[in-house]
Chain A
């Protein structure tokens, strides 16, 4: 659909080994285009989180290359510039508990983007309004529910004006009734044309927002399919087997 010609993320034959010689990634290649929403699914230990975390170099890759908007994760000098273009949302939210919600969203804008206090706060409040946490701006993270914390985390990442957003199991640590409020924010972002890479098993999100689904197993990509086709009409035996367990 909204894909341009040039991929914004190029994952080229990536290998990653952990200390005990376990191969986390074994020759993964994937192109992601601007505005595309890609979902990565797979059993635990399949390397999906490792792949996602490699895109902004929270994990170092051992071979191959990942190029994000012309910047390579293997070039050390590029890394802070690269991370500015890539927002990340974690399973455990990772808000800064010593700072208020507003300060969480303001901090990196001030010291990394060098924005004025006024500009950063205006931007933060607008984003908090967007994710529906405006009234809680002066609260502290530990006073919020998981769903609220995750929405703040999304606002915090968006405040840096990233071109790409990565989601590492954003709803896995949430109580069921809070998953929806987070997914709604994510679907909204997808509609606005944000490039998103999402590690998650949320069928609802796949149906309403994903452009492409990727199944990983044992450090490899097993199957790729547009929209929720992977869920509804899998081709590979491994995919069927995995889906029969999670659905």
Chain B
């Protein structure tokens, strides 16, 4: 091919590429929203075509949906805060801080989340009561665990250990030159972290954070074993009174699917919005 035709061809291609929508524009209405719509329509159809039992199930579990969303969002916020603190600990040069956060991460990641929840709900209050008895301290002796509170604390502490490692990886993925440039401008280490390192690290780990949110949403179903009336627990309650396992769990599964699909789309939009400008 001669040089001229080569140039023409590449110009043609460049023109075509320029006309394609940008990633950011596309994200708001990409094909995956179709799947969200299909699942949503499926639920609507089931409820309107077979109000008995599907409308009954839906109205029975609706407060469970709210609990699941509440637990997921508050756990996520706590996880982000705790994960950031521990992630910074994992890159700290202070040996004590590094050691403490490392032990936390290793211990928590080595115990199943379900077991951790059982510890927080059953063992932790029992310990408090025993301490109360030993010290003869009334408020401790009469301590009763709040299920939602314990569930939120339990999942947050578990997920923050994973989040700490994600944050650490994000920080360590940046070239050392970024910190050096910031420091050579006279910034303190904290200023450099806040304005240069973390904003870039979080952009890098944004896809992983999105995945964590979805895992969190699904793992929130574990709280049903510690007396939290979330979507899963409400489903079990409905099934045990009506003996309709197929219909109940179809509805519950569809509701979870709808929530995770919507979360994935939102995560994608946030990811595209925060991408580095190139």
A contact set with B: CB distance below 8 Å: 56, 58, 80-81, 83-84, 86-88, 90, 92, 94-98, 100, 107-108, 111-113, 140, 142-143, 153, 156-157, 160
8 interchain residue pairs of minimum CB distance: A140-B277, A94-B181, A108-B185, A94-B177, A88-B184, A84-B186, A112-B186, A83-B186
CB distance from A148 to the nearest CB of B (A): 14
B185 x A157 contact (CB < 8 A): yes
> In B158-200, which residues have CB < 8 Å from any A CB?
175, 177-178, 180-188, 191, 195-196, 199-200
Q: A residues within 8 A CB of B178?
A: 94, 96
Indicate if B276 sits at the interface (CB-CB under 8 A): yes
Q: In the complex where A83-B186, A140-B278 touch, is A96 in contact with B181 (Cβ < 8 A)?
A: yes
Contact partner of A112 (CB less than 8 A), chosen from B175, B191, B199, B277, is B191
CB distance from B171 to the nearest CB of A (A): 14
Contact partner of A97 (CB less than 8 A), chosen from B185, B187, B200, is B200
Q: B residues within 8 A CB of A80?
A: 186-188
Q: B residues within 8 A CB of A96?
A: 178, 181-182, 196, 200
Which residue of chain A has its CB nearest to the CB of B177? A94
B184 x A86 contact (CB < 8 A): yes
Indicate if B203 sits at the interface (CB-CB under 8 A): yes
B181 x A90 contact (CB < 8 A): yes
Q: Which has the most chain A C-beta neighbours within 10 Å: B182, B184, B191, B199?
A: B184
CB distance from B273 to the nearest CB of A (A): 13
Q: In the complex where A58-B183, A98-B199 touch, is A90 in contact with B177 (Cβ < 8 A)?
A: yes
Q: How far is the CA of A88 from the CA of B253 in the complex (A)?
A: 58
CB distance from A157 to the nearest CB of B (A): 7
Q: How far is the CA of A143 from the CA of B185 in the complex (A)?
A: 23
Which residue of chain B has its CB nearest to the CB of A104? B181
Contact partner of A143 (CB less than 8 A), chosen from B180, B200, B277, is B277
Contact partner of A58 (CB less than 8 A), chosen from B184, B191, B200, is B184
Count A-B contacts at CB 8 Å: 70
Q: In the complex where A140-B276, A143-B278 touch, is A83 in contact with B196 (Cβ < 8 A)?
A: no
Q: A residues within 8 A CB of B180?
A: 58, 88, 90, 94
B187 x A108 contact (CB < 8 A): yes
Q: How far is the CA of A192 from the CA of B184 in the complex (A)?
A: 22
CB distance from B93 to the nearest CB of A (A): 13
A112 x B276 contact (CB < 8 A): no
CB distance from A212 to the nearest CB of B (A): 23
Q: How far is the CA of A84 from the CA of B183 in the complex (A)?
A: 10
A156 x B199 contact (CB < 8 A): no
CB distance from A178 to the nearest CB of B (A): 19
B276 x A98 contact (CB < 8 A): yes
B184 x A142 contact (CB < 8 A): no
B184 x A56 contact (CB < 8 A): yes
Q: How far is the CA of A94 from the CA of B180 in the complex (A)?
A: 8
Q: B residues within 8 A CB of A97?
A: 200, 276
Q: Report 20 cross-chain contacts, Cβ distance below 8 Å, ordered by A residue.
A: A58-B183, A80-B186, A80-B188, A83-B184, A83-B186, A86-B184, A87-B184, A90-B181, A92-B175, A94-B177, A94-B180, A94-B181, A96-B178, A98-B199, A108-B185, A111-B195, A112-B187, A112-B191, A157-B184, A157-B185
Q: A residues within 8 A CB of B199?
A: 98
CB distance from A96 to the nearest CB of B (A): 5
Q: How far is the CA of A56 from the CA of B177 in the complex (A)?
A: 14
Q: A residues within 8 A CB of B184?
A: 56, 58, 83, 86-88, 157
Q: In the complex where A58-B180, A90-B177, A90-B181 touch, is A142 in contact with B186 (Cβ < 8 A)?
A: no
Q: How far is the CA of A87 from the CA of B203 in the complex (A)?
A: 28
CB distance from A230 to the nearest CB of B (A): 27
Which residue of chain B has its CB nearest to the CB of A83? B186
Q: B residues within 8 A CB of A107?
A: 185, 195-196
Q: How far is the CA of A140 from the CA of B181 in the complex (A)?
A: 17
CB distance from B194 to the nearest CB of A (A): 9
A111 x B187 contact (CB < 8 A): yes
Q: Which has the most chain A C-beta neighbours within 10 Å: B180, B183, B185, B276?
A: B185
Q: How far is the CA of A170 from the CA of B136 in the complex (A)?
A: 71
Which residue of chain B has its CB nearest to the CB of A53? B180
CB distance from B195 to the nearest CB of A (A): 6
Which residue of chain B has its CB nearest to the CB of A109? B185
Q: B residues within 8 A CB of A153?
A: 181
Q: B residues within 8 A CB of A142?
A: 276-278
Q: How far is the CA of A87 from the CA of B191 in the complex (A)?
A: 18
Q: A residues within 8 A CB of B187?
A: 80, 108, 111-112
